[in-house]
């Protein structure tokens, strides 16, 4: 093989090897699509409960046993894909009978259900809550409200829906979502290895 041809072959091989790395670098630089926003709704707590940790099925010394226990977990990232360590993640939802801890719901919520929780994302942006598979109430399909804050800034307010729930197609807010936004906000609630339901909901925010 001539010296010139050998150089061409070596150069071509190097280009083939470099191409996947180049594609990966270009892909990594493509901004992630932010999680769609949705209305906060009328039932964000007027006063935060004394017990506001990750476990909504235990409110102080009371334990809530209705419905299906669920782990809701995920990670918060910015649009570059970097984890948002230290972000505050909040969720709130109604109890199994469709009542919120809120004056607008006339105080009918079960006192054993915490109804609201807040956790701080770890160094990988991860969060996790032990809660209830969301229940429907009049006019709404099952959903969990979720908010992300960084310091005093509110970065996102949205809602998490249950994949395959028959109430979705009748819900005005869910129906108004685009197909892509539905996919982003609608997740499977499936049995985990411990028999408890598990749902994964990754969050992307513009930080």
pLDDT in tens, 158-207: 999 999 999 999 999 999 999 999 999 999 999 987 889 999 999 999 98
Distance CA 72, CA 70 (A): 6
Pair 113, 176 in one domain:
yes
Predicted local confidence at residue 16, as pLDDT: 44
Predicted local confidence at residue 195, as pLDDT: 82
Q: Calculate the CA dihedral of residues 42, 163, 87, 50 and round it to 10 degrees.
A: 50
Q: Is residue 13 pLDDT above 80, yes or no?
A: no
Predicted local confidence at residue 61, as pLDDT: 97
Token pair 């892509």 is at which residue? 180
- Is the alpha carbon torsion for 114, 144, 69, 54 positive or negative? negative
pLDDT band at 7 (very low <50, low <70, confident <90, very high): low
Predicted local confidence at residue 103, as pLDDT: 95
Distance CA 204, CA 207 (A): 9
pLDDT of 48-97, one tens digit each? 999 999 999 999 999 999 999 999 999 999 999 999 999 999 999 999 99
Pair 20, 54 in one domain:
no
The mean pLDDT value of the chain amounts to 90
Query: How many structural domains is the chain composed of?
Result: 2
Pair 161, 96 in one domain:
yes
Q: Residue 79 is part of a domain; what is its CATH number?
A: 2.60.130.10
Q: Is 19 exposed, middle or buried (0-12, 13-18, 19+ CB in 10 A)?
A: exposed
Backbone angles phi, psi at 160, to 5 degrees: -110, 130
Q: Encoding tokens for residue 69?
A: 């226990």
Predicted local confidence at residue 1, as pLDDT: 58
Pair 22, 63 in one domain:
no
Q: Is residue 9 pLDDT above 50, yes or no?
A: no
Pair 25, 51 in one domain:
no
Distance CA 84, CA 120 (A): 10
Range of the domain at 17: 1-30
Backbone angles phi, psi at 198, to 5 degrees: -140, 140
- Report the SS3 class of residue 78: strand
Pair 83, 93 in one domain:
yes
Pair 106, 197 in one domain:
yes
Q: Which candidate, 205, 74, 71, 93, places its Cα nearest to that of 149?
A: 205
Pair 14, 81 in one domain:
no
E strands present in the chain: 58-59, 62-63, 69-78, 88-92, 116-120, 126-132, 143-150, 153-162, 186-187, 190-191, 197-200, 203-205
Predicted local confidence at residue 8, as pLDDT: 43
Q: Encoding tokens for residue 76?
A: 């918060």
Pair 131, 79 in one domain:
yes
Predicted local confidence at residue 19, as pLDDT: 52
Pair 4, 86 in one domain:
no
Q: Is residue 28 pLDDT above 70, yes or no?
A: no
Judged by average pLDDT, the poorest of 9-13, 55-59, 71-75, 142-146 is: 9-13
Pair 78, 3 in one domain:
no
Report the side by side order of strands in the sheet with 88-92: 116-120, 88-92, 143-150, 153-162, 186-187
Predicted local confidence at residue 161, as pLDDT: 98
How much of the chain, in percent, has pLDDT values that exceed 90? 83
pLDDT of 96-131, one tens digit each? 999 999 999 988 999 999 999 999 999 999 999 999
* Non-local CB neighbours of 31 within 8 Å, separated by 6+ positions: 79, 80
Pair 108, 10 in one domain:
no
């Amino acid at each position: 093989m001539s010296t010139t041809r050998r150089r061409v072959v070596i150069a071509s091989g190097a280009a083939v090897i470099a191409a996947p790395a180049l594609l990966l670098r270009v892909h990594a630089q493509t901004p992630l699509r932010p999680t769609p926003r949705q209305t906060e709704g009328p039932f964000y707590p007027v006063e935060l409960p004394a017990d506001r940790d990750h476990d909504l099925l235990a409110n102080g010394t009371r334990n809530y046993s209705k419905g299906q226990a669920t782990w809701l977990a995920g990670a918060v990232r910015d649009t570059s894909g970097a984890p948002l360590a230290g972000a505050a993640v909040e969720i709130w939802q109604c109890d199994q009978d469709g009542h919120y801890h809120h004056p607008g719901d006339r105080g009918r919520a079960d006192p054993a259900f915490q109804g609201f929780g807040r956790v701080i994302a770890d160094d990988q942006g991860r969060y996790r809550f032990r809660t209830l598979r969301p229940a429907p109430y009049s006019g709404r399909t099952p959903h969990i409200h979720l908010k992300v804050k960084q310091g005093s800034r509110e970065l996102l307010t949205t809602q998490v829906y249950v994949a395959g729930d028959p109430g979705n197609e009748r819900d005005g807010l869910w129906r108004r979502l685009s197909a892509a936004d539905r996919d982003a906000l609608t997740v499977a609630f499936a049995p985990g290895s411990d028999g408890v339901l598990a749902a994964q909901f990754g969050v992307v925010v513009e930080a």
